[in-house]
Amino acid sequence: MVTAGSGNTSNSQRYSGRMADTEGLGPEQLATYFVLMESVSLLQHAVEQQLRADGDLSYVQFQLLARLTDAQGQLTMTELADGVVYSRSGLTYQAGLLEKAGLVTRGPSPDDERATLVTITDAGRQRVDQVLPGHVEVARRLLFAPLSGEDVRALGDVMTRVRDHMRAEPPRSAAARARRRDG
């Protein structure tokens, strides 16, 4: 058995494994990993449908706009790609689409002539506002519905630690790009 029953509905949690030191993972960890990937996959599919239906956006495009909204200003292409976990060439493509749609603008940076600053437009903000309610609704219905407040807090806590850990860890094999804020 490889995936430890990732396709089953029942949760046979009768394994009391522990973090092995030199060995691999126990079935419990492996099952956790697989169910995590599967759930997010399902969620992402649903979310993509909603964004496309409500505002003709892909999830990546939504992420980019949301990130720009967060930044309260402009971001360089690299910062944007880095935040969204995306290839640079892919971002060039998507930024082109967003610019053509009038949701962002691209301009040169005063500090660095090479850099391209991406700015969200009012139409872009409007689009985010347009899809956000439905987006939130999907997340609530699919992800949060079966969870208690305590579950949500635990999930957020755990995944935040995982995210921070992965962000701190270099990709290890590929040509690691420079990390600002060396921590």
Partner DNA sequence: GCCCCATAGTTCGAATTCGAAGCAACTCGG
Partner DNA sequence: CCGAGTTGCTTCGAATTCGAACTATGGGGC
Residues in 27-86 at the binding interface with DNA, rule: CB under 7 A: 49, 58, 60, 76-79, 86
Among 25, 30, 71, 115, interactor with DNA by CB under 7 A = 115
Residues in region 103-122 near a second copy by CB under 8 A: none
Amino acid at 26: G
- Across the strands, what pairs with 120? 104
User: Looking at beta carbons only, is 41 or 92 nearer to a second copy?
Assistant: 41
User: Looking at beta carbons only, is 73 or 90 nearer to DNA?
Assistant: 90
Q: Which does 101 bind (CB under 5 to 8 A by kind): a second copy, DNA, none?
A: none
Amino acid at 67: R
Q: Which does 56 bind (CB under 5 to 8 A by kind): DNA, a second copy, none?
A: none
Examine residue 180 and tell whether it contacts DNA (CB under 7 A). yes
| Tokens at 174, concatenated | 């590929």
SS3 11: coil
CB 147, min distance to DNA, A: 26
Examine residue 177 and tell whether it contacts a second copy (CB under 8 A). no
Among 3, 76, 119, 121, interactor with a second copy by CB under 8 A = 3
Which is nearest to 30 in space by CA: 11, 8, 5? 5
| Tokens at 56, concatenated | 């003709």
Q: From residue 155, how far is each of 8, 76, 96, 134 by CA, in Å?
A: 22, 31, 35, 22
User: Looking at beta carbons only, is 41 or 160 nearer to DNA?
Assistant: 41
User: Looking at beta carbons only, is 70 or 112 nearer to a second copy?
Assistant: 70
DSSP 176: P
DSSP letters spanning 90-150: HHHHHHHHHHHTTSEEEEE-SS-TT-EEEEE-HHHHHHHHHHHHHHHHHIIIIIITT--HH
| Tokens at 97, concatenated | 């689409």
Q: Which residues of this protein are in contact with DNA, per CB under 7 A? A: 49, 58, 60, 76-79, 86-97, 106, 109, 112-117, 174-175, 177-178, 180
